[in-house]
Structure 1
Amino acid sequence: MTIVPFISRPAPFDPIGPDWWLTSRGLGWSTMGADLRLRKFWLPSGVAGAAARWATEPEFFAQYTAAGTTRTYADSSGILRADLAAGAPRYTWVGGVRRLALEGTTTNLVTARKHNPIAPFAPSNGAPTFETAQPAGTAIFTIANDSSALAAAGLDQICTNGMVYKIDNSAGAGYAWVNFASDTVAANTTHVYEAYIRAPSGGSIRGSAGSGTVTLAADTSYRRVNTIFAHSTAQQLRVEAGAGQVVYVILPGVYRADYPPAYPVIGDTLSAVTRPIETFRLPHQAEALIATGPYTALVRGRLIGTVGGANASRVIGGGAAYGVFGVASSDPINRAAIWVGSAELRTPARSDSPWTSGFGIGLAEDATGRSMSLNGNLASDAWRAVTPAPHYLGRDGTGRSGDGFYDLIAIGPIRLTNAQLQAAAVPYV
């Protein structure tokens, strides 16, 4: 018989409280937070002598909102799913571990069916435009059943009818291709063009005007392929089959963005599809602490991509244009910044792209000033940046987002020393 130690029982059923566990994780200063990989949650107890208590998941996510049914995620077996109820936090498995996914509003501009295409191949069924650089009839474009390969790739829970787009150019001597029509693809703007493609003898993907070509090596399995570029003329997603090649395509996507979404935005309708923003407003106890101080806030995770300038990615954001901390507007790859104050406080530059490889960022404030650390790189000044509620993880009140996978958030009512902050501001391990 296996005896399970009492301390290992899932929160909130551990009767001794989270203090010992938090201390063992270097978080003894935190009175509210969540280990999102382990799904452990804690909030202030309100009891004298006890800093924190275990909280339930619904209690911690009481101010979380997410609409729609197009929020895709990967389960622990790598299977792509879209079965979340509205308002449910979107956990996904990345790199073999569970993480909380948070993303801003994203629109898939493709107006063909993204999954579950239907026969016969005809414009009324949302068929893409098929073209060939050889005599008509040499290449064949069809809707074909590829259910076994879809299941092997973990796509069968989304692509439930087993059908895909097929370019059969096995008898051709030149190129054949399909262009997937898109809604309002603008010129002079960066877009992501992508699809899941199975190319047993190779193929390619690019913009319809010839931009951003990615040549595919032979592969009998589906893989997600994308090309990202800014273009001077509006383009469509193009998938090509060269002479002798057969290419299978599903889940086409075109996004007006600098990087692809975590997972495709799906839809089997003949129109663009929008996935609304996921809003995780922090528990009210955390908001009150950030608004008044002193406090320390720590976040660990990995961003999918980063944006600088006026729309710099937020890790913790405030209402309106307030940003508590996140990506530096002037260096969105290697620095962190606090925006509220007399000037942007930035950490020293790093050379390892911490935002997209794995970050730990901490901010500590009191009446004498503030300190911030990104993966151990520290910056501080004497400014007290007051940011009134609301406060969010992964966005701000205007919709600027920090699209990514979040592992941990911890907040406490003290300002850590600079050395303590640097030790805490490391990626999740």
Structure 2
Amino acid sequence: MTGNLQAAQGFWGVPAYQALPAGGSGVLGPGAVLDIGRDRYALTRLAVAAIPAAAASELAALSACSFEKLITFTRSATATYVGSDGLIHSAAANAPRFDHTNGRRQLLLEGPATNLLLNSAVLSTQSVAVPAATYTLSFYGTGSVTLAGASSGSLSGFGSTTRVSLTFVATAGALTMTVAGSVANAQLESGSRASSYIPTTGSAATRPADSARLTDAAAELVRRDAVSILVQAFQPFETGSTRRWMGTSYTILGLDTGKKPSQWDGAGPLLSVSSGVNDQVDLGFGVAWDGSGRRMSIAGASAGDAHQPAFTGNVFLGRDNSGNFAPGWYDQLIIWPFRMTNADLAAKAAAYT
């Protein structure tokens, strides 16, 4: 059975998953699909050892599979997420978080963070010693928190199911937070955005980083000489931070500190789109390469060159192997075992629907 005939029997057979190979004469399907939003997954039937040399049509013969067949997920402790009911839930260590903060099912991936507040479930007035840095305060409830000492300002709540946040710069010293009214599930953390809630009691607490490593089969598809990749996600950017949407020890898909999409394999030149992308929007980020070079597309912008990248080692979603993260909510990852046309790549590099 050919890849196209097999594709017609699964969800991956619809036109959205088909693409025209560069220099080809007929469309082909993907080798792997991680559709988190619809909780459906598929992977090539071929053994890992056969993937590097197989024809794209052979790799497009897929079978439906579980999330775990595509992603090996680890996190050394519990972490919270927002469920479909709008409430905060706790995920066990090494369990992925399928979060509904944005009104749909997405995979929440984050780096480490520390909640500096004590007894955060029901906050009371307290002081915290802080170094000079940028911080974000967040909470649920109808009360307010007023800052004094190392910084000044105030934050008022809008209800028990609405999270509010305030980002500010503090000098080194004691930061006093005076609480009035109902302030629940409060968090004070370094950085310019509020990450997922970290419960505390009598001391500060740290949420360890998520690790979503592609399984051997999925990673082997990425390591082929010719491949196309699409990642769709919502990224809440932080000022001055690099983002690794997908990486090894190097960047397969990333955003630099100016929010410009980029790729670097550690050997060839840096490929970068000339302008940065907008904040706080759903994005589709695509890249494709073969022996003739590579192409990148995102938010209506594209760039390419004649370098054929080569990536080795473990492949991660939402981070790289060097501790660089792309915190955010991930909708879908699709890997095609061939380089698609530039036109198809640009068309597919769109937000998840």
TM-score bucket (shorter structure) = 0.7 to 0.9
User: How far off is 1:208 after superposition?
Assistant: 3.7
- Of 152, 156, 165, which residue of structure 2 is paired with 1:216? 156
Q: Please tell me whether residue 257 in structure 1 is matched to residue 208 in structure 2.
A: no
Q: 1:316 aligns with which of 222, 242, 246?
A: 246
Identity fraction in percent: 26
Cα separation, partners in 2 of 1:339 and 1:190, compared to 1, 3 Å: farther
Alignment of 1:85-100 (within 5 A): 85-100=92-107
Q: Compute the TM-score of the two structures, normalised by the length of structure 2.
A: 0.85
Match of 2:25 in 1: none
Q: Superposition pairs for residues 235-246 of structure 1, below 5 Å? A: 235-236=174-175, 238-241=177-180
CA-to-partner distance for each residue in 1:118-177, whole Å, 9 max, x for gaps?
xxxxxxxxxxxxxxxxxxxxxxxxxxxxxxxxxxxxxxxxxxxxxx346xxxxxxxxxxx
Letter of the 2:253 partner, please give it. F
Q: Name structure 1 gaps, 5 residues minimum.
A: 1-15, 116-163, 167-177, 242-246
Correspondence 1:364 to 2:308: no
Instruction: Tell me the distance in 2 between the aligned counterparts of 1:33 and 1:240.
Output: 47
CA contact (8 A) 1:114 1:266 kept: yes
Match of 1:422 in 2: 346
1:233 maps onto 2:233 in alignment = no
* CA RMSD of superposed structures (Å): 2.5
| Structure 1 letter corresponding to 2:333 | I
* Conservation of the 8 A alpha-carbon contact between 2:213 and 2:315: yes
Residue aligning to 2:204? 272
What amino acid maps onto 1:387 in structure 2? F
Residues 252-282 of structure 1: CA deviation (Å, up to 9, x unaligned)? 2221122110x211122x1111111110001
SS in 2 for 1:58: helix
8 Å CA contact retained: 2:34, 2:333: yes
Preserved contact between residue 253 and residue 265 of structure 1 (Cα < 8 Å): yes
CA contact (8 A) 1:205 1:227 kept: no
Q: Are the aligned partners of 1:306 and 1:402 in contact in 2 as well (CA < 8 Å)? A: no
1:327 paired with 2:268, answer no
Indicate whether 1:339 and 2:264 are aligned.
yes
Q: CA deviation at 1:237?
A: 5.3
Whether the aligned pair in 1 keeps the contact of 2:115 and 2:189 (CA below 8 Å) is yes
**Inter-CA distance 250–423: structure 2 relative to 1 (3 Å threshold):** same
- TM-score normalised by structure 1 residue count: 0.70
Give the gaps of 5 or more residues in structure 2.
1-5, 19-28, 48-56
Aligned residue among 217, 236, 255 for 1:304: 236
Structure 1 CA distance, aligned partners of 2:176 and 2:39?
39
Query: What letter corresponds to residue 85 of structure 1 in structure 2?
Result: A
Deviation at 1:41, TM superposition (A): 0.8
Q: 1:298 to 1:248 in 2, by over 3 A?
A: same
State the Cα distance separating 1:396 from its structure 2 match.
0.7
Match of 2:3 in 1: none
Name the residue aligned to 2:136: 192
Q: Given that residues 205 and 239 in structure 1 are in contact (C-alpha distance below 8 angstroms), is that contact kept between their aligned partners in structure 2?
A: yes
Rg comparison, structure with higher value: 1
Preserved CA contact (<8 Å) 2:140 2:159: no
CA shift, 1:222, in A, is: 5.7
- Whichever residue aligns with residue 76 of structure 1, its letter is S
> SS of the counterpart of 1:224?
strand
Equivalent position of 2:64 in the other structure: 54
Q: Return the structure number with greater relative CO, CA threshold 8 A, min gap 6.
A: 2
Map 1:24-423 to 2 at 5 A: 24-28=14-18, 29-46=29-46, 51-61=61-71, 63-69=72-78, 71-82=79-90, 84-110=91-117, 112-115=118-121, 164-165=122-123, 178-179=125-126, 181-182=127-128, 185-187=130-132, 189-199=133-143, 203-211=144-152, 213-216=153-156, 219=158, 221=160, 223-236=162-175, 238-241=177-180, 247-261=181-195, 263-268=196-201, 270-306=202-238, 308=240, 312-319=242-249, 322-329=250-257, 331-332=258-259, 335-340=260-265, 341-349=267-275, 353=278, 356-423=280-347
After TM superposition, give the deviation of residue 374 of structure 1 in Å. Answer: 0.8
**8 Å CA contact retained: 1:317, 1:393:** yes
Once the two structures are superposed, residues 359-398 of structure 1 have per-residue CA deviations (whole angstroms, 9 ceiling, x without a partner) of: 0000101112110011231100111221212110001111
Question: Distance in 2 between the 1:337 and 1:271 partners?
Answer: 40
- With over 3 angstroms needed to count, the CA separation of the structure-2 counterparts of 1:391 and 1:21, relative to structure 1, is same
After superposition, the Cα gap between the structure-2 partners of 1:114 and 1:20, relative to the gap in structure 1 and judged at 3 Å, is: same
4+ residue segments displaced more than 4 Å: 16-20, 47-50, 219-222
